[in-house]
Amino acid sequence: MIAQEEQILQTYFGYETFRPGQKQTIDNVIQGANTLSVMPTGGGKSLCYQIPGLTLDGTAIIISPLISLMKDQVDALQSLGVHATYINSSLSGREQQIRLDDMTAGRYKFVYVAPERFESPIFINALKQVSLSLIAFDEAHCISQWGHDFRPSYRSIVPNLQKLPNLPVIMALTATATGEVISDICALLQIGNDRVVNTGFERENLAFHIVKGKDKSTYVRSFLAEHTGESGIIYTATRKQTDSLYDLLSKRGISVAKYHAGLSEEERKQAQAAFIHDETTVMIATNAFGMGIDKSNVRFVIHYAMPMTIESYYQEAGRAGRDGEHSDCILLFSPQDIQLQKFLIEQSLMDDVAKQGEYRKLQAMINYCHTHSCLTSFILDYFNDNPTGGNTCGRCSNCLHRQERVDLTEEAQMILSCVKRMGERFGVGMTAKVLKGSRDRKIADFGLDKISTYGLLSAYTEKELTEWIHFLTAEQLLATEEGKFPTLKLNRNSVEVLKGERTVWMYTAPIPTHGEADYKEDLFAALRKRRKEMADERNVPPYVLFSDATLKELSRYFPE
Ligand code: ADP
Ligand code: MG
């Protein structure tokens, strides 16, 4: 005999077997235990509340921040013959009242609402009169201020719930939750540690790529030319960028739609519908687009600029490949992206503590763009979801372009010693300038043109030096203290490098799938030339920058 849940899965939904995590979540809920499920996008979280909602007596309340998604889910349930509805601001006041009365009369198995609904005393009063089967918080990361999409209205539901005499079992579901977010959700919703179902969230069909040093619009045009007819999303950082890229591509006859908060609701609806129904193949949008979009055949997601956090990056990129087919997630990085994100943090209304948190997340995002390790592993590590650690996925741009590497130890030693000699009080930009030997007024103002590492790497461009410093940070060979002006600091790994106990390998600069490897060639040539010059200039190995005594002293800061 098969369990009731399995039967519902097969007869109602027409699926043979549960996906990872689904059964455990459903069992927890049916047993009456509050539960948090962390599953990847497309992992099948909706079924986790739909099956218990069908099994248990009473009405299930599904709270979702995504009004656009409610109607689709309700339509799908209704087509299965299930009594379901949604109550939100897209309905007339009269229609809302009718549905509320029906809910009070117990006519629905499922009612979808937005978090704001809980601010209405009328709604709370109605809820008190209903026999409830469960309350589900979809996109539950929005409840936590550590989450990437914090919504105060979501959090303020909690005290209102406590007013309910008929409080049922509670579920939380999300695709992105760091340790902090998980503990926050559990504490708020009284979910026991043993009731967290976490399937991890590696998406084995996604290949991540970082593309640097390319003209972005040229890159996008050649990418689209090679992927005609494939459905994809291009995320830009601003509405203006969306508009101009849209103009550029549509002028060239490419089938594009655009979406951002500055467009009318009608325009957005149309753009979205055209994209979902494959009438247009490419959607150009700000991050206003996509939450709750269930389009299975998105073959690529291109980020035209670096987003603010890895959480939002992974969620947006994760809209590719929900059908399980191979899909590409490409991030087009340029150094200006960092400035833009800092500006956005400064402009925001967050308090200083919250800003500090954002800077910390931004730093991780910057590191992602500069690491030479496996990008998939980097992301999983970020979410503490890499049990085997240090793995290589074999699909990302770093894994694919790993054939050649260059020993950057000497240069790294110079950079690290420069950081130390600058008193560990400055950021990437100033450090690059000092190593370059820049004549910038600020350098002289701080007396940095007098230190021994001034101009030590003058054969390179400031851009290259900046890139290397970011790289060292990304590989954790150098630390940063985040803030509006993040400062560079040494860490234990830095000392190992300085003492010559550790080799710094830099892999072939990640090469875009389109374009030539000119940067790497330049790099090798420049390295050889500079090393030769330095050997001619002085008769000492250029990297012996600290005496043994100093190195010993440094080691003491970072005991084993
Ligand atoms: P999530 O909310 O986790 O991103 P959804 O609940 O929207 O994912 O489900 C994604 C897709 O997977 C949907 O099309 C859904 O019907 C399908 N799905 C869910 N569970 C199963 C299953 N056990 N077997 C096959 N397909 C499933
Ligand atoms: Mg979902």
ipTM of model = 0.99
Supply the pLDDT for residue 522. Answer: 57
H or E element that contains 73: helix 67-79
Contacts of 259 (CB under 8 A, 6+ apart): 242, 268, 271, 272, 275, 283, 284, 285, 286, 288, 289
Give the model's pLDDT for residue 552: 73
Return the axis-axis angle of helices 4-11 and 22-30, rounded to nearest 10°.
Answer: 120
pLDDT the model gives residue 252: 93
Q: Please tell me whether residue 103 adopts helix, strand or coil conformation.
A: helix
Task: Give the residues surrounding ligand 1 with Cβ less than 6 Å away.
Answer: 15, 18-19, 22, 39, 41-47, 294
If one residue of 22, 50, 199, 294 were mutated to test the ligand 1 pocket, choosing by the most ligand atoms within 8 A of its CB, it would be 294
pLDDT at 388: 54
Cross-strand pairs, 505: 407
Nearest ligand to residue 20 Cα:
1
Which among 115, 11, 104 has a CA at the least distance from the CA of 55? 11
Do the beta carbons of residue 521 and residue 504 sit within 8 Å?
Answer: no
For residue 153, CA distances in Å to 117, 138, 158, 357, 429 come to 9, 14, 10, 20, 40
Helix (H) or strand (E) holding 329: strand 327-333
* Residue 391 Cα to ligand 2 middle (Å): 28
Residue 291 gets which letter from DSSP? T
The pLDDT of residue 279: 95
> What residue's CA is closest to ligand 1, atom 13?
44
Residue in the block written with tokens 């410093």: 469
> Are the C-beta atoms of residues 38 and 385 closer than 8 Å to each other?
no
Residues found in the chain: 560
CA dihedral 215, 218, 222, 225 (to 10 degrees): 150
**62 C-alpha to center of ligand 1: Å?**
16
Which positions ≥6 away from 253 have C-beta within 8 Å? Answer: none
- Of the candidates 254, 244, 259, 257, the one whose C-alpha atom is nearest the C-alpha of residue 223 is 254
Which among 148, 167, 172, 188 is positioned nearest to 62, based on CA atoms? 172
Query: What integer pLDDT is reported at residue 524 of this predicted model?
Result: 60
Query: How far apart, in whole angstroms, are the C-alpha atoms of residue 48 and residue 55?
Result: 11
> How many whole angstroms from 107 Cα to the centroid of ligand 2?
24
Looking at residue 404, what is its pLDDT? Answer: 67
Extract the residue ranges of the chain whose pLDDT is less than 50: 1, 510-517, 538-544, 560
Q: Classify 476 in phi/psi space as left (phi over 0), alpha (psi -120 to 50) or beta.
A: left
Ligand 1 atom with least separation from CA of 39: 3
User: How many angstroms separate the alpha carbon of residue 237 from the centre of ligand 2?
Assistant: 24
Which residue from 17, 23, 46 has its CB within 8 A of the most atoms of ligand 1, so it is best to mutate? 46
Q: Strands 196-198, 505-507: parallel, antiparallel or unpaired by DSSP?
A: unpaired
Is the Cβ–Cβ distance between 507 and 401 less than 8 Å?
Answer: yes
| pLDDT value of position 386 | 62
The rounded radius of gyration (Å) of the Cα atoms in the chain is 27
| Ligand 1 atom with the shortest distance to the CA of 46 | 6
Ligand 2 centroid to Cα of residue 290, in Å, is 12
